[in-house]
């Protein structure tokens, strides 16, 4: 396993950093986050058409880049640093893996081509506050010409604005990962009701999706009906790695913002950065960021193995639990320290630190909290019958 970037990976990472530094400025983020969709369509088209970053994991046969999760994580790190308001996480890190892992090539190719053309997608599975596959409460029944779905989906990232939806539903009477199917559908289909759900984090919009006796054709079901629970679990694990990378990038950025501010702010005739207490805080922030970076890129390497069916794929649940727990703690604690180091102005609207703090808090709870992932890791290491890292996502 190689723990250094290849020349191509470094180029992707540097290109993403340069682009987002220029295009996802504080003013751009604040302008995008108050719109109905929560992002700038122009920025999304630039990501797709100019940088082609949405095609990182799409197969080369379709015109994608055919790359893996190390490259994807390097992009997500920079998105976290610059609070990029774009449907990248929902489309590339959640919906695309669900399509690629659950459906046949012939079945998903038309949908992948739509994403390649710049359309957006979202994965909906959460019906209530339960971990992993247990959160799926929507029900499906088989009909003469397809399927009928009924249920509510909460906290769907970009669910109110996506062009297409991947919906998880289960057979009546099933539980856990059993009886779960994934269905792909155009978001404009009759029978789908969607609206935006305001949350603490204004930079990432979540939606609620409701389907009431939604009639779908037989080919809308990805793979064999009732047998997609394991796929959904893996998709959530892979998405958790991407989210951890975003958290790690945000942890780095709030550290940089705090250190820069303390060099400018003076107290008792000298910059507060020279005070020992501030130095200790900055050192702790750096330590948390570097540890989370190591955990995150290790998880990215394991996710890459799982994506390609490699020999280390079985280690994915442990790697995910380690990365998410460290990155959640680093992001939230660094954001909190940055607020304190900014003093009273830290939570004023004009400074960006409060935006990072809100993102840190919402991301901490998304796809499993740090404590839930530590519990999952302990269960895995002790070989107990408890939820895996995918189950808590």
68 C-beta neighbours (distance < 10 Å), count: 20
Residue 42's SS3 state is: helix
Digit-by-digit pLDDT tens for the chain (393 residues) are: 557 899 999 999 999 999 999 999 999 999 999 999 999 999 999 999 999 999 999 999 999 999 999 999 999 999 999 999 999 999 999 999 999 999 999 999 999 999 999 999 999 999 777 777 889 999 999 999 999 999 999 999 999 999 999 999 999 888 888 999 999 999 999 999 999 999 999 999 999 999 999 999 999 999 999 999 999 999 999 999 999 999 999 999 999 999 999 998 878 878 877 788 889 999 999 999 999 999 999 999 999 999 998 989 999 999 999 999 999 999 999 999 999 998 888 888 899 999 999 999 999 999 999 999 999 999 998 876 555 545 666
What fold does the segment set 7-116 form as a domain? Butyryl-Coa Dehydrogenase, subunit A; domain 1 (1.10.540)
Q: Give the span between the Cα atoms of 220 and 147, in whole angstroms.
A: 8
**Domain ranges across the chain:** 7-116, 121-222, 229-392
Confidence at residue 386, expressed as pLDDT on a 0 to 100 scale: 53
Sign of CA dihedral 151, 90, 247, 377: positive
CATH T-level topology, domain 229-392: Butyryl-CoA Dehydrogenase, subunit A; domain 3 (1.20.140)
Q: What confidence score (pLDDT) does residue 391 get?
A: 62
Looking at the chain, which runs of residues are DSSP E strands? 121-124, 139-143, 146-157, 164-170, 180-186, 192-197, 206-217, 221-222, 266-267, 270-271
pLDDT at 271: 82
DSSP per position, 325-353? HHHHHHHHHHHHHHHHHHGGGGGSTTSSH
At 127 the pLDDT is 78
Confidence (pTM): 0.94
From the CA atom positions of the chain, what is the Rg in Å? 21
CATH class of domain segment(s) 121-222? mainly beta
């Amino acid at each position: 396993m190689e723990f250094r970037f290849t020349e191509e990976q470094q180029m992707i990472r540097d290109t993403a950093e340069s682009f987002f530094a220029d295009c996802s400025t504080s003013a751009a983020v604040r302008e995008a986050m108050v719109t109905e969709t929560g992002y700038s369509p122009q920025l999304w088209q630039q990501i797709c058409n100019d940088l082609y970053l949405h095609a990182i994991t799409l197969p080369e046969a379709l015109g994608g880049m055919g790359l893996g999760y190390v490259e994807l994580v390097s992009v997500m790190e920079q998105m976290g640093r610059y609070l990029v308001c774009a449907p990248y996480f929902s489309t590339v890190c959640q919906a695309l893996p669900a399509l690629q892992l659950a459906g046949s090539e012939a079945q998903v190719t038309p949908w992948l081509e739509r994403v390649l053309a710049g359309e957006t997608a979202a994965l909906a599975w959460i019906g209530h506050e339960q971990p992993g596959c247990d959160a799926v409460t929507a029900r499906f029944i088989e009909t003469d010409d397809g399927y009928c779905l009924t249920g509510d989906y909460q906290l769907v990232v970009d669910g109110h604005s996506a062009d297409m939806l991947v919906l998880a539903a289960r057979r009546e009477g099933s539980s856990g990962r059993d009886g779960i199917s994934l269905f792909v559908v155009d978001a404009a289909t009759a029978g789908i009701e969607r609206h935006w759900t305001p949350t603490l984090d204004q930079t990432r919009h979540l939606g609620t999706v409701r389907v009431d006796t939604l009639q779908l054709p037989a080919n809308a079901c990805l793979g064999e009906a009732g047998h997609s629970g394991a796929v959904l679990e893996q998709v959530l694990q892979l998405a958790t790695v991407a989210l951890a990378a975003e958290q790690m990038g945000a942890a780095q950025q709030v550290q940089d913002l705090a250190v820069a501010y303390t060099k400018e702010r003076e107290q008792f005739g000298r910059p507060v950065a020279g005070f020992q207490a501030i130095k200790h805080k900055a050192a702790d922030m750096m330590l948390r960021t570097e540890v989370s970076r190591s955990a995150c890129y290790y998880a990215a390497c394991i996710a890459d193995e799982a994506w390609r069916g490699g020999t280390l794929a079985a280690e994915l649940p442990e790697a995910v639990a380690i990365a998410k727990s460290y990155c959640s703690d680093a992001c939230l604690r660094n954001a909190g320290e940055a607020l304190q180091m900014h003093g009273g102005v830290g939570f004023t609207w004009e400074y960006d630190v409060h935006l990072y703090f809100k993102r840190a808090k919402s991301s901490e709870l998304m796809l499993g909290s740090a404590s839930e992932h530590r519990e999952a890791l302990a269960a895995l290491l002790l070989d107990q019958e408890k939820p895996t890292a995918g189950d808590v996502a």
